[in-house]
Amino acid sequence: MSLALIFCIGAGTNAPAEASLSLSEAIRLSQERSFKIKSSIFDSVGAVQDYRLSKSLRYPTLSLNAASFYVDNLPSMSFPLIGARNLGSKENYQADIRLSLPLFTGGKIANQIRISYENVRAKSLSLAADQLNAAYRCRKAYLNLMLSRAVALSAKASLERVRLVRQDVYNFHKSGLADSVDILEAELAYEIASLTGSERQSLARDASIALMQILGLASDSEIAPGEMAPLPAEPVFRDSVPMTEIARPELKILDSRIIAANQLERFNKSSYFPSLSSYIGYSTGKPNRDFFNDKWNDYFTAGVTLNWELNLGGKTSYSAGSARQAAFSAQMSKKELEESLTLMANIALENLHQAYRTFVSSQKEYDIARAKYRLGQEKQKVGNLTVNRLLEMEAELSSAEQLYQASIINYYLSETEYLYATGSPKIYGGL
């Protein structure tokens, strides 16, 4: 059953619709919904059109010029023997067709094509960067939802334990084994646990709304994470992340910027060279070349044109130098980004190791708290433990349980930071 159909069924029953959604499916939906990705797709298509435009400059150009006009007064000239003759025709018709082909441009066309190609590549990499960022944001939102729901379930379990303790206190009070102070302590603990559970539910709802916004779904629906977080496995220990393992698209974008700047320098230097093109033309009209006879005539032409412009103020040199400095600037930007990404990856790696250590420690604390509370229940039933102490043990158990559940999800949140820092394709998958 599709996600939209589940939501529609929920809406028809006037109940909050809840759909189970896997992490990889959520990431796919976020990619489809992202306006930033859609904008990058249009930019990429536009860059492809610019690339095709630059390639079209290598092809012949066909031009047509046509005109028709009337002249009411013509000049005339007298000739011996033949007398006065009009020059031209009152009714004029002229059409000229020319097919021209560039033969040599000094590298203008070739370098322009290379620049356009690097722009296509940069736009494509920009799209990949936006897709990576969208997957990162969705993955974090999904894990935050898992975290908030897990903590909310822990708070609910804590409330149920306190409720049972309160019920036992009332039973003991009826039997004369508990006093009014015990009842008040149990009631206070129940109210605190109830308020905590309500707060945790509210945080879970907030996390669900945040994920809904990323997925472009109605905020009055509910999403239930469709997969369980497996227990974390100890990551392979490394002191640092080598630069060769960082595959962020932003680095490749700067590579394209560097290449494009170098090509722009060559493009500007091509102004030192002349442009050579060939052409073939056909002309027809009346009077066309015959100024003395009001008749139609035509002719063909073919030739070569040379165009050479040199700016005496150093325009070409300055423009080439500007492009060269842009290339140096892109190189420095890449080095800075490499350092930044390396630092980010190393910090993420260290946080991942620490998240695993926290998980191991919280797991032990949770096991101890459970065993301690179980023994406390047994002692309290035989009157060897006060209600107040049992409630303290329950609070310790509740805290340990929430920390344990949070440590599992926090591990995967740290892993997400590491995957994003290194640009790993695993960020698009599940847990």
Q: Mean pLDDT across the chain, nearest whole number?
A: 86
The predicted-structure confidence for 264-308, as pLDDT tens digits, reads as follows 999 999 989 999 999 999 999 988 887 777 788 999 999 999 999
Strand bridging mode 18-21 / 76-79: unpaired
Tell me the pTM: 0.81
pLDDT at position 84, please? 65
Q: Which residue has the tokens 């082909």?
A: 101
- Name the phi and psi angles at 103, rounded to 5: -100, -40
Question: Which of 1.20.1600.10, 3.40.1350.10, 3.30.9.10, 2.40.30.30 would CATH assign to domain 21-59+107-271+316-428?
Answer: 1.20.1600.10
Q: pLDDT band at residue 182, thresholds of 50, 70 and 90?
A: confident
The predicted-structure confidence for 241-254, as pLDDT tens digits, reads as follows 887 888 899 999 99
The 3-state DSSP class for residue 242 equals coil
The predicted-structure confidence for 42-54, as pLDDT tens digits, reads as follows 999 999 999 999 9
DSSP 64-126: EEEEEEE-S---EEEETTTEEEESS-SEEEEEEEEEEEEEE-TTHHHHHHHHHHHHHHHHHHH
How far is residue 129's CA from residue 159's CA, in Å, rounded to a whole number?
45
Residue intervals of the chain classified under CATH 1.20.1600.10 are: 21-59+107-271+316-428
